A = this chain, B = another copy of it.
């Protein structure tokens, strides 16, 4: 029964003996791979809430031990401390650097993943317990299943398959696995910078599998992401919370000020109202429009996946351009106000609104920060409130675009075709993988975003899942990719050598 579920992939063309053996092994060891996922999901490695930091560190150690079992030379790198808003310092979880194979004749692929997760509580509306892997109708529900523990394990599964079958790995493998991605990858940039000429010196390709397909059925490769600038806007009044009966009507309530500030950010059509914010966004090219036309996209299915009845745009071209090529602003919540069920007639003394702007090329992060601060300070000053305003950018991550002619994009297309018998959609992603841009800028290597999860995986939601099919076939795609990139790399080297000789 297990085999039927995930075995639905139809292999394209005639498989080599190696591929046959690899794919058969993967099918036959599904239960073991699922058990590994259950064990990883069971660790509440939430990097947002400081009190769970110990669990993140424990998760890093579990992942490191797994890589060591594969024979990888594994290091847990201390990346220092994090200063919390209250001034307290807490340790950052270590980053894993690992390598498997050092054959100078083989290309070296570095896989990036993260094993920290977003917060999840059963009270948030989960139908299953978020840290207990639960299979329902071929889907594994649980926090981290798709973002990003499942994909990290799929890569590990692919390698363990080679090793257990005694098939020579066609590439050298490196791993960089972190535990602070959901909090903004603290300390990572410095580490990559530091390792640029050491760990990364002989890396040829960097693969990230930390996003989703565009649809539920068709695989995709991603060549761009939006950036993200997270802001906090704090309004503080008196020294203590007050009672709305006691002072309601005679003071400027911080909450009213904050609500007005947040309401000034975006209109009902999703248009950002901060002056100048769209200035550096370059218009969509005709070539991009053509690319968008080629993508298979079912609007009804898309709406069903995200669980929304109506969206702001009707055509896929408009939708893609607003998700990939235009900035957006979302208001996430308020800290310090009453948030529980029921009634509390409080006038909170200090409230902090949280919102973020997804930026696109060629927006400049520090310019965005300046525009936001200037605008909010201006809106606030017009209210003539005696309360105190403090706007700060808590996290800033830049957008990213890759060169889709890089050989690893070609290799990934071939691997997908072999396992799924179809070409992937070439897409961008509206969300942010700060490390894609970071890796590209610092290491100057080719970066590929190679998603395993389907569009309805609900990353960050109360329904996060990965399907058995995507998890197991994803493992096969990764296994196949290693063969393909090795072949392409050799051909390229030959061509390059010939050219040199000629």
Q: Do A243 and B459 form a contact, CB below 8 Å, given A238-B307, A248-B328, A343-B184?
A: yes
- With a cutoff of 8 Å between Cβ atoms, the chain B residues found around residue A385 in the complex are 268
A327 at the interface (CB under 8 A from B): yes
CB nearest neighbor in B for A360: B249
**B244 & A330 in contact (Cβ 8 Å cutoff):** yes
Measured between alpha carbons, how far is A239 from B127 in the docked complex, in Å? 12
**B332 & A430 in contact (Cβ 8 Å cutoff):** no
**Residue interface mask A300-316, B partner, CB < 8 A = 1:** 00000011111111000
Q: Do A239 and B307 form a contact, CB below 8 Å, given A430-B247, A431-B245?
A: yes
- With a cutoff of 8 Å between Cβ atoms, the chain B residues found around residue A245 in the complex are 225-226, 228, 358, 429-432
- With a cutoff of 8 Å between Cβ atoms, the chain B residues found around residue A323 in the complex are 246-250
Between-chain CB contacts (< 8 Å), 27 pairs: A119-B344, A125-B240, A183-B342, A225-B245, A238-B307, A241-B462, A243-B460, A244-B356, A245-B431, A246-B431, A248-B329, A248-B430, A249-B328, A249-B430, A250-B319, A251-B312, A253-B270, A256-B266, A256-B270, A257-B268, A260-B263, A332-B347, A333-B339, A338-B354, A343-B394, A343-B395, A345-B356
Measured between alpha carbons, how far is A72 from B79 in the docked complex, in Å? 68
| Residue among A249, A338, A341, A385 with the highest chain B CB neighbour number at 10 A | A249
**B332 & A344 in contact (Cβ 8 Å cutoff):** yes
**B334 & A337 in contact (Cβ 8 Å cutoff):** yes
Q: Do A358 and B259 form a contact, CB below 8 Å, given A240-B461, A240-B462?
A: no
**A308 & B268 in contact (Cβ 8 Å cutoff):** no
**Residue interface mask A44-55, B partner, CB < 8 A = 1:** 000011000000
- With a cutoff of 8 Å between Cβ atoms, the chain B residues found around residue A333 in the complex are 255, 334, 337-339, 344, 346, 348
Known: A239-B307, A242-B460, A244-B328. 16 other contacts (CB 8 A): A85-B341, A125-B240, A240-B463, A248-B328, A250-B311, A250-B312, A250-B313, A251-B308, A259-B331, A310-B386, A334-B337, A339-B339, A343-B354, A343-B395, A345-B431, A345-B460
A150 at the interface (CB under 8 A from B): no
Measured between alpha carbons, how far is A205 from B243 in the docked complex, in Å? 28
Interface size, chain A (Cβ < 8 Å):
95
**A238 & B309 in contact (Cβ 8 Å cutoff):** yes
Q: Which of B85, B259, B330, B354 contacts A248 (CB 8 A)?
A: B330
| Residue among A266, A333, A338 with the highest chain B CB neighbour number at 10 A | A333
A118 at the interface (CB under 8 A from B): yes
Shortest distance between the CB of A236 and any CB in chain B (Å): 11
A168 at the interface (CB under 8 A from B): no
Measured between alpha carbons, how far is A257 from B330 in the docked complex, in Å? 11
Q: Do A247 and B306 form a contact, CB below 8 Å, given A259-B262, A343-B184?
A: yes
Measured between alpha carbons, how far is A337 from B351 in the docked complex, in Å? 13
In the A-B complex, list the 7 residue pairs whose CB atoms are closest, starting with the nearest.
A245-B431, A249-B328, A333-B338, A239-B307, A333-B337, A310-B386, A248-B328
Q: Do A330 and B463 form a contact, CB below 8 Å, given A245-B430, A248-B358?
A: no
Shortest distance between the CB of A82 and any CB in chain B (Å): 11
